[in-house]
Structure 1
Amino acid sequence: MPVASLLDWNNLDSTTIFRGQTLIVNKPVYYTVKKDDSLTQIAKNYGTTVQTIKDLNKLTSNTIYVGQRLTLPNAARETGNSTTYTVKRGDTLSKIAKEHGTTVKAIKDANGLTSDTIHVGQTLKLSGSASTAQTYTVKPGDTLYSIAVKHGTTVQAIKKANGLTSNSIRVGQTLKLSGSASTAQTYTVKPGDTLYSIAVKHGTTVQAIKKANGLTSNSIRVGQTLKLSGKPSAVQPSANIVEALIAEGKKYIGVPYVWGGTSPAGFDCSGFLHYVFLQNGISIPRTVETIWNAGKPVASLLIGDLVFFETYKKGPSHAGIYLGNGQFLHASTSAGVTISNMDNPYWSPRYLGAKQLH
């Protein structure tokens, strides 16, 4: 077998390998990411694990984007709602469940197990429906908001799944991330509610709520039941456009902020976006408000989305390009073109929502 083939199939830059590394030794399977895909879902469908996919594709997070080509192990073939796993030395039900985005109970139910005892060589069915209950262990710096953004769900969905009455969490805490977060949830309007306050509370946008409920105005009434769709309502830009926009934007990190600026001599936030898109042959409106009005709302952030904030005036007044992992690229009044974290104490309470222009 040619070394070149091994390098190509495993995305290796050199012939250096290490003990325990997973290598593809036959021609691999390739998969192109589609709308609403997640690594957990792809791993489940192809009978592999999230970690294996991340290792083969040198991914450092679970973030993927529409149009991205992923390398899958040669043994991976699309399955139905049920995949199988052969127990290896050192495995436990808990470990297997975590690797496959399912639960111990789901595995036990699927295999008729009455205890947690398993043995090497045993074949276990991993039910496709098991991924509806994933878990996440809180890390330093995490907030419910940042966790919700990373996992394509909402703060409210996480709180409900875990019986939380406040936004307080602690490092090491295990949170259930309900797989149903991407489906339509409902909310009953309470006294003092507005579409805006409901949208902010649930990590969505006013426009997304109006569209999901067929509303033509912002009027709502106490007791009214609203659908809160967790699915993105627009198609993500193609992978090469997203990559090109982000690469272009990052060229100007450090360029100073200039009110009304639209060139590398100095940008304001909308001037920066207008210029970056224009360099890729895309003409977008010039002001934050008109960009907001032209975009299609999304309820689940994807890389390349435009994120909007309410800063010095009511309504959208600042915007940037979402980079994944809670970060966005923008022209800041204090730092010029820079990368900031959406969970920052300044940006988090001012977040309005995300939109796509493609």
Structure 2
Amino acid sequence: MTVTLVYAAYAVGVLAALLAFGRASDTLGRRPVLLAALALSGTSSLVFVLVGAMSSGGLPLLFTGRVLSGLSAGMFTGTATAALADYAGKDNQLRASVIAAVANIGGLGLGPLVSGLLARHAGRPLQTSYLVHVVVVVLAVAAILAVPEPVRPDGPRRLRFQRLGVPAVARAAFLQAGTAGFAGFALLGLFTAVSPSVLALLGHHNPALTGVVVFAVFAASAAGQVVSATLPARPALLAGTGVLVLGLAVLGISLARSSLPLLVIAGVIGGAGQGLSFRAALGLVTQVSPAEQRGGVASSFFAVVYVGISLPVVGIGVGTREYGLVHTGEVFAAILAVLALLALTSLALRKPRAA
């Protein structure tokens, strides 16, 4: 239960950053926000290093580090994507969006992989990976300082609270896309948060193996996002949601049979479906929204999916205490499969209209 709550603290930080800093780079500039996000990211790693050196009493600091990490990620989510689009120019927007998507999901996958390998083969497993991350943050700061500011903000430089909302014309599409996005990110949340416990239940206690399994899921997601860039939004969303349903079904079977190969296959299938549907879902909700409201709609969509990556995982933590991890995981996979199937059915029967 504690593990899932610590994991959820990250999503709290992400949501807070999306609300407080969603428009910050438009008024302050891209580089100041990116540098602030890197500062938070580096600070969170230093907090984790401190926690790793403590023998007891480090739980409050652990929560603090997770929230700081979430704040950093939330600030990066829109700012880095916007900066890439600025640097790419009008003729390379598709390439910039694909790079942003792969960097985002690929980074989430590389983190557990590298950490798992370091925990298995390097000393001080609770500290080394975070020290490596601090070095990476320093390199990133140097890289940002070396490039020019891509935008020149007009007007007063002040923070404005990001208001969430969905206009009436986009609500049907938002419900369809948001449901699929919620289910997909919940799948990612499951593999990220409870993979060590699931693998331990299957008799595997190797942290490097945990990293490989999680990386496989996110690598499949990144590949799915690349493929989605070659397809129109609605067909990609239909295909991705269908693949996601299949992945969730295989996940339930893998837990029932205590099968590691099936678990990995489920992660790869589900990750590919999530990646294929995610880009398409975000594109669909912005496409059907009025131009002057697209920023708020996109922020609302990210809020939904980040709730998806955390809240169900907390539910798993609660359910595991009462019913065990396997049974809870089976129910979890079944509920998400039903949600994704409902979204798929709605998409197939009703085509959203652009604003």
What TM-score range do you get, normalising by the shorter chain?
Answer: under 0.3
Q: Between Structure 1 and Structure 2, whose CA radius of gyration is higher?
A: 1
Which structure: greater helix fraction? 2
* TM-score normalised by structure 2 residue count: 0.25
